[in-house]
Amino acid sequence: MKTLKVLFILCIMLGFAITANSQGKQVVRPMKGTFYELPSGIPGTSFVTGQVTHMGNITGTSIADMSGAKQIGNVITGVKNYKTKIAANGDKIFSEASVTLILNLDVNGKPDGTGTFYATAIEVGGTGRFEGCSGELYVTGTFNNITGCKNYTAEGWIKY
């Protein structure tokens, strides 16, 4: 009977050890999001709201870096974007993106202040359950430089 009790206790301890070990394993998961950005009042910086898988409703900030941008016709390349997405519980995901803008032209061939964009965003870390995360999202959207607003969707994967 004593041997049976010892074996039972060892089985319980092994169960806890296996559970604790598997908690550190990162898993690749699909990720999608819809986003809306409003100007913050600071040039190049926007407030972000949206809905993201694994995060729910989010808020955050977006910073555009135009220092490496190059324009050929109505296409602008070399734009960098740095984003922080914050879940309702405070967990964060940080991302960096390479963005290409396509400017809409008016009847005279001049940019009218609106356009479309696409980007590849790389998830570069986070906090809480997203600490050490990685991932890649493909982003498409529209912008309006007159109002400063952007609407876009993203789809890809995240590993956490």
Domain ranges in the chain are 26-159
* CATH 2.40.160, applies to 26-159: yes
What pLDDT score was predicted for residue 17?
46
What is the pTM (predicted TM-score) of this model?
A: 0.83
What pLDDT score was predicted for residue 12?
54
Calpha distance 101→115 (Å, rounded): 7
Could you list the mean pLDDT of each consecutive 10-residue stretch along the chain, which spans 160 residues?
53 48 79 97 96 97 97 98 98 98 97 97 98 98 96 98
Q: Which residue type sits at 158?
A: I
